[in-house]
C-alpha cells in the first residue's frame, strides 16, 4: 500500500501505527500531491488535512494519547512550518503541535467529508526571558509517560535550535497541551465560537457540523501558546551545542531517588548524556558524558531507546551501534571520580566504579549533588602518578590534560604559580599548556588540577628534566637494575641451600 515508505530517503516523512490504524504524511503518488498532508491511510475511513492549515510543514513526531473516554482519544503531532508573520525580524520557522480526534469520521458536507474536521494547531514556545534567548526551530520530540499512568502528566521533551545552532531543551506536559486546545480562542477569529467548538471530539462517531468545520478550517491556530512546565516557563537548559535528537530514560538510583537521563545527539556525531534531578525550581541538570558511538565518526541518523534492556540503538549511514546506559568503567579517579561523575547508573563498590544493575547489594552513591565526593571513605583523591620527560633548552613542548568533567575548572600549575586555566565549557576536550621556548626556569614539576567546589583532584603530574640530568638518572637507573639482577641471581642458590638443610 502506498504511504508506508517515502519515494526518496530525503523526503520528510512520518508514519504512525496504532493497532489496525496507520497514519502517514507520505505522498500517494510520486509526482502528484506535492502539498504535504497528514493522512489516515488505514482505519475506519481515510482522511487528510486541508491544504491550507499548514504552510510547508516539516514533520517531527506523532503519537496517539488515550484519554479518560475512548471517544476523546487524541492524535498529537509535532512539526515546523513557515512563519505566517512576514516581519523581517520574525523567525523563518515556527514550531507547532497539532491535535486530531482519533474518532474523527469527517464532516457532513462534500468539502469536509474526507478531511480531518478536528484539526487545531498551537505554537510551541521555548525561550528564556532572563537571557533574552529564543529557540524557534523544533528538532525532535520525546514523550516520557508518567509512571502512574496519568496521561496528563506525560512529559514532552522538545529539542529546539536557533539561527546560530545553539540548542535548548524545553519540557511540556500533555495536560497543558490538552488544556490549551480545549479552552483557547482561535487566532484571528473574533465572533462567537460555534457549538460544538472547533477541535472537540464527539461521542458515538457523530460527524462534525459544517459550521464548526468551516471556522476551524479558516482559523486553525489557537491564540494561546503552549509554554514549558513550571512557574518560570523556561527551558530545562540551553547549550552552545547543536542538538538534533533526544530520548529520555527514567531510572531509580540505589538510594531510591528518581532521575531522568537525557541522551542528545550532536551535529558532530556524538551523544551527550544529561542527568535531570529534582522538580521545578529545585531541579538540577548535569551534562556528564560525551559518547562516540561509532568506530568511524559519522552523522547520527537514528536513535532509539530500549528501556527494558537499558540500551541505546544508534544508526549512521554505515553502521548500527548499541550503547549501554550504564557506562561506569570509564570513570577514573577512584571513588571520588566515580561519585563526582554524578552518573545515577554508577556507584562505588569494593574499590571499583560499578553499575547499580550489576551489583547484588546497594552501592555507594552521592546523595548531595553539590559535593558528592564527601561520601567517599577516603578524605581526598589519590595523587596522579609522576611522569618524566627530558627536553633540550629552547625546545617547544605542550602538556595536555583531558577534561573528564564538564563542571570542573582545570589548571596547569608550575611549582606554585598557575600557568593555564580552562573553565567549564572549554571548547577543546583537553586543557593544553603550550611552552613555546623552554628556558632553564621552566624545568620542574607541572600539575594539572581539577577544581569543582570544594573538590580538588590532581589529574596529571609531569616533571620536565634537562637532557643531561635525565641521562644521569637513566644511567643510575640502569646500575640499580643491574645490582638487583645480580642479587636476584643469588636467591635461587640460597633457596636451594635452605631446602637441602
Inside any domain, residue 190: yes
Sorted by sequence, the CB contacts under 8 Å of residue 161 that are 6+ apart come out as 135, 137, 139, 167, 168, 242, 243
Give the angle subtended at the CA of 178 by the CAs of 173 and 181, to the nearest 5°. 135
Inside any domain, residue 289: no
3-state secondary structure 36-86: CCCEEEECCCCEECCCCCCCCCEEEEEEEECCCCHHHCEEEEEEEEECCCC
- pLDDT value at residue 32: 61
> For position 494, which CATH number holds?
2.60.40.10
Whether residue 118 contacts residue 71, with contact meaning beta carbons closer than 8 Å, is answered with no
339 and 423, same domain (yes or no) = no
Inside any domain, residue 303: no
How do residues 419-464 score in pLDDT, each as one tens digit? Answer: 999 998 777 789 999 999 999 999 999 999 999 888 888 999 999 9
355 and 398, same domain (yes or no) = no
Instruction: Return d(Cα 248, Cα 78) in angstroms, integer.
Output: 17
How do residues 157-180 score in pLDDT, each as one tens digit? Answer: 999 999 999 999 999 999 999 999
Sign of CA dihedral 197, 200, 203, 204: positive
> For position 363, which CATH number holds?
3.30.1680.10
**Exposed, middle or buried: residue 386 (CB in 10 Å: 0-12, 13-18, 19+)?**
exposed
Cell of 453: 567546589
Inside any domain, residue 39: yes
430 and 369, same domain (yes or no) = no
456 and 347, same domain (yes or no) = no
426 and 467, same domain (yes or no) = yes
344 and 428, same domain (yes or no) = no
Beta strand pairing call for 386-391 and 455-466:
parallel
Task: Find the domain containing 356 and state its range.
Answer: 334-375
358 and 493, same domain (yes or no) = no
Inside any domain, residue 48: yes
Instruction: Return d(Cα 146, Cα 319) in angstroms, integer.
Output: 33
For residue 488, what pLDDT band results from cuts at 50, 70 and 90? Answer: very low
Q: What percentage of residues in the chain have a pLDDT greater than 70? A: 91
- What does each C-alpha distance from 181 to 201, 224, 339 come to in angstroms? 11, 8, 45
- pLDDT value at residue 403: 87
Among 106, 122, 57, residue whose Cα is nearest residue 213: 106
Instruction: Return d(Cα 312, Cα 272) in angstroms, integer.
Output: 12
Sign of CA dihedral 422, 287, 263, 368: positive
Inside any domain, residue 251: no
* DSSP labels, 171-218: EEEHHHHHHHHHHPPBTT--SPPPSSPTT---GGGPPBPHHHHHHHHH
How do residues 278-321 score in pLDDT, each as one tens digit? Answer: 876 778 888 989 999 998 889 999 999 999 999 999 999 999 99
pLDDT over 90 (residue 236): yes
Domain edge (last residue) among 205, 233, 261: 233
203 and 62, same domain (yes or no) = yes
364 and 413, same domain (yes or no) = no
- What does each C-alpha distance from 83 to 87, 91, 93, 96 come to in angstroms? 9, 7, 5, 11
Number of domains in the chain: 3
Rg of the chain in Å (alpha carbons): 30
Instruction: Return d(Cα 43, Cα 1) in angstroms, integer.
Output: 13
Inside any domain, residue 292: no
pLDDT over 50 (residue 486): no
Long-range contacts of 423-432 (CB under 8 A, 24+ apart): 425/240, 428/403, 429/290, 429/402, 429/403, 430/400, 430/401, 430/402, 430/403, 431/400, 431/401, 431/403, 432/398, 432/399, 432/400, 432/401
371 and 389, same domain (yes or no) = no
Instruction: Return d(Cα 112, Cα 109) in angstroms, integer.
Output: 5
Inside any domain, residue 275: no
Whether residue 346 contacts residue 355, with contact meaning beta carbons closer than 8 Å, is answered with yes
Spacing of C-alpha 312 from chain mean position = 12
Domain edge (last residue) among 233, 253, 283: 233
The residue among 12 and 245 whose pLDDT is bigger is 245
178 and 204, same domain (yes or no) = yes
> For position 44, which CATH number holds?
2.130.10.10
Q: Which residues pair with 155 in a beta bridge?
A: 144, 173
Average pLDDT, the chain: 87
Q: What is the dihedral of CA 267, 268, 270, 273, to 10 degrees?
A: -60
Whether residue 480 contacts residue 472, with contact meaning beta carbons closer than 8 Å, is answered with no
- pLDDT value at residue 135: 95
pLDDT over 60 (residue 333): yes
346 and 482, same domain (yes or no) = no
H-helix or E-strand spanning residue 334: helix 334-340
Amino acid at each position: 500500500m502506498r504511504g508506508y515508505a517515502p519515494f526518496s530517503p530525503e523526503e520528510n516523512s512520518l508514519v504512525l501505527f496504532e493497532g489496525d490504524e496507520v497514519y502517514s504524511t507520505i505522498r500517494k503518488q510520486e509526482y502528484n500531491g506535492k502539498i504535504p498532508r497528514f493522512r489516515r491511510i488505514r482505519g475506519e475511513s481515510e482522511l487528510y488535512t486541508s491544504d491550507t492549515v499548514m504552510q510547508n510543514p516539516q514533520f517531527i513526531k506523532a503519537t496517539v494519547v488515550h484519554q479518560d473516554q475512548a471517544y476523546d482519544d487524541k492524535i498529537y503531532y509535532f512539526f515546523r512550518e513557515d512563519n505566517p508573520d512576514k516581519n523581517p525580524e520574525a523567525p523563518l520557522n515556527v514550531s507547532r503541535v497539532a491535535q486530531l480526534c482519533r474518532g474523527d469520521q469527517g464532516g457532513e458536507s462534500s468539502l469536509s467529508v474526507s478531511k480531518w474536521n478536528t484539526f487545531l494547531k498551537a505554537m510551541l514556545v521555548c525561550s528564556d526571558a532572563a537571557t533574552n534567548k529564543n529557540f524557534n526551530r523544533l528538532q525532535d520530540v520525546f514523550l516520557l509517560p508518567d509512571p502512574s499512568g496519568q496521561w496528563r502528566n506525560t512529559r514532552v521533551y522538545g529539542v529546539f535550535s536557533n539561527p546560530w545552532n545553539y540548542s535548548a531543551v524545553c519540557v511540556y506536559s500533555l495536560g497543558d497541551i490538552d488544556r490549551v486546545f480545549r479552552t483557547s480562542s482561535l487566532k484571528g477569529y473574533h465572533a462567537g465560537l460555534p457549538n460544538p467548538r472547533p477541535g472537540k471530539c464527539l461521542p458515538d462517531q457523530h460527524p462534525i457540523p459544517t459550521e464548526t468545520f468551516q471556522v476551524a478550517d479558516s482559523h486553525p491556530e489557537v491564540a494561546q501558546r503552549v509554554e514549558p512546565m513550571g512557574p518560570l516557563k523556561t527551558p530545562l537548559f540551553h547549550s552552545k551545542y547543536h542538538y538534533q535528537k533526544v530520548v529520555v530514560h527514567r531510572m531509580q538510583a540505589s538510594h531510591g531517588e528518581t532521575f531522568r537521563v537525557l541522551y542528545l545527539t550532536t551535529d558532530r556525531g556524538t551523544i551527550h548524556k544529561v542527568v535531570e534531578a529534582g522538580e521545578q525550581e529545585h531541579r538540577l541538570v548535569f551534562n556528564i558524558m560525551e559518547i562516540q558511538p561509532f568506530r568511524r565518526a559519522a552523522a547520527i541518523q537514528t536513535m532509539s531507546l530500549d528501556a527494558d534492556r537499558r540500551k541505546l540503538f544508534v544508526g549512521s549511514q554505515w553502521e548500527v551501534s548499541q550503547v549501554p546506559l550504564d557506562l561506569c568503567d570509564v570513570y577514573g579517579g577512584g571513588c571520588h571520580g566515580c561519585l563526582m561523575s554524578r552518573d545515577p547508573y554508577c556507584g562505588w563498590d569494593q574499590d571499583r566504579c560499578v553499575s547499580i544493575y550489576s551489583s547484588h547489594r546497594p552501592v555507594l552513591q552521592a546523595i548531595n549533588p553539590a559535593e558528592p565526593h564527601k561520601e567517599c571513605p577516603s578524605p581526598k583523591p589519590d595523587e596522579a602518578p609522576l611522569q618524566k620527560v627530558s627536553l633540550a633548552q629552547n625546545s617547544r613542548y605542550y602538556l595536555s590534560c583531558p577534561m573528564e568533567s564538564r563542571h570542573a575548572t582545570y589548571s596547569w600549575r608550575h611549582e606554585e604559580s598557575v600557568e593555564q586555566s580552562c573553565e567549564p565549557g572549554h571548547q577543546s576536550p583537553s586543557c593544553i599548556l603550550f611552552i613555546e621556548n623552554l628556558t632553564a626556569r621552566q624545568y620542574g614539576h607541572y600539575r594539572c588540577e581539577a577544581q569543582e567546589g570544594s573538590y580538588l583532584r590532581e589529574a596529571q603530574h609531569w616533571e620536565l628534566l634537562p637532557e643531561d640530568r635525565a641521562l644521569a638518572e637513566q644511567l643510575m637507573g640502569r646500575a640499580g637494575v643491574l645490582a638487583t639482577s645480580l642479587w636476584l641471581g643469588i636467591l635461587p642458590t640460597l633457596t636451594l641451600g635452605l631446602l637441602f638443610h
